[in-house]
Structure 1
Amino acid sequence: MDLIGGPFSVIESDPGVKNLSVVEVFDIEPWATDHLQPHGLVFCFHWRKDVHRPAEFENPEQVWFANQLSDDACASHAILNVLLNCPTVDLGLTLQQFRDETKEMSPVMKGLAVTNSTHIRNAHNSLARQADLRGSLNAIATTTLDIQKAKAKELQSKKKQTATPSKSKPSKSKSKIVDSSETTEEEVYHFIGYVPAFGKVWELDGLKPGPLEVGRMFLQAGSRRLLRDADILSSPPDMLLEQWENAVQQAARLKTNVEDEIQKAATDWSDFIKRTHDYEPFCVEYIRCLHRDGFLEALLDIAKNITPPQTVVKAKKPKTSLPDENFDQEGLEVQDMADHNNNNDDDDAWKPTPSRQQI
């Protein structure tokens, strides 16, 4: 998923989860998260191989955790790892049955169950473009054929070696020197989840063997609510009017927030339709119509004659005799700084002459 916000706010309705949404936050301070009442955190970061983490984890039986077995589903895995550890959330019939059926499995088997779940796969693929789905199927087919060809070639070479054993001395393997400047690493992003469960905070990384305990959690939300209710009950009568006005103002703000959420949901749904709509048939038919009516060749000739934009690189010029001015392709007059540097050594003292056009 290359977009944050829109696709995430749509995906929770596909598996049947109720009364939840995924919100992008820019800070984890109380002022940014207290009004959201979050159930968990999904963190996106630039992934690098971490050698400092332990290779073995204690597998707590109560925490639901699944390993990520597919390369392009880290966001969905992070959401599932968070959702299925929230007992107070209405998961819907599908995910509730899925959690009950897989709670006794190992993390690897849970990841395999996620990969083989048709409902989860359809929810994940609903965010992809049709061209991306066709490209992924083509990549799978190409990879499968390449593997089969490599195995057949290796088997054939082994048969030749056993049929005609070579008497020559084994050649020394030559190491190939690769220029580090030519090889560039592709940026890989990964999603992990953080969820409070069973009195602790857990880091749920699908690429790790198991959940990692981050720390213990102090349950202060209930005590804060009780203190707030006690303050309201102990308020003197002369402050009730002020508190009533504050409540009315807060209700107006909440009404505005609800209207914003409705508008945001409509915008997200519109963006979702634009993102997932298959424009390829329209483009193919449009090109066919251009070819049928005789406009395609002319457009291709125009495209061939268009010169690519040139990048202008500023560099220090030697003080040589250069013309005072030249003209670019559009006929605009451009002033050469080198000539003025010859006439005046002070750059700050140079001013454009009135006869020259300012660009």
Structure 2
Amino acid sequence: MDPVMRGLAMTNCQFIRQAHNSLARPADLRGSSHAVATSTLEYAKSQKKTRRNSDSSPPKKRRKQNFGRVKKPQLASAEEDVENYHFIAYVPIDGKVWELDGLRLSGPLEVGEITSDSEDGSGRTDWMSVVRPALRRRMQSLQSNESDHVRYNLLAVVEDRYEKASDALEMLKRKRNRLESRLNEELPEVWTSQVDPSLLASRVEAFATSSQGSSSLGPTYDPEFGSQKLEMEMDILDMPARKLGEAWETCVRNAMTAKVAVEDELSNSIRTQTEQLSRTFDYEPLFQTFIICLHNEGCLGTVLPGK
């Protein structure tokens, strides 16, 4: 499909429309509905006026108007018309970085190839080093002479931080259980006196969160969580008995840090949800009912200034 048809297809998609409107305020939805109704009425009036003028014109002229050439709308590229605001995405696919522009008729544009030099210290591919120059060029092309006029907005789709923090804590839970199982086998009734007493006293609270207890195992989100857990268990089986206590202490310390990260994400999600509900809640019926009650009780004149 061409860009216009793609836009119409997305606009008419009920799922996308509901997801988009779920973030809007009720006043914005009413305003947009009013704008659509107003533009529709104005268009109907203009069509009726054009039809009336066409009927009053001579037949030859009317025939020429009816069969005149219709100009197709031309879509300007981002370089030609910076006022045409829309989203442009950059994604890494099959070892290359692609630019996805809905207004480009030729399809995706290859930005660059991800080579072995585009890897960070952990061995993962750092595709941002390939796309960063393209982002700079586009932002520079959209800079305005006015310093306070921002003509672009940069967004990033990232992994869920709560899922990542939760998986880290769940892995530490399983690691603690496996370490304590081996300690009870190798050093029964002795290892508790050889580890840090403060860590031993806080081993229950270190793995408990506001949404889950320390003993119960919660859900995991990483598809590779099972393989990582298997590697961890194999490392513990191959670990000498003298290092089990030190590994257990490190596990409890890491759990304290992971617990803080999980609690931070939980509080952030609660705050975000509260702000979303406050922003999208429709307060207009409350205000209308309140003003009507004031009017019925004869108190509206005392509330308004100058009355």
TM-score in terms of structure 1 length = 0.40
Relative to its length, the structure with more helix (as a share) is 2
Q: Which has the higher contact order (CA 8 A, sep 6+)?
A: 1
TM-score in terms of structure 2 length = 0.46
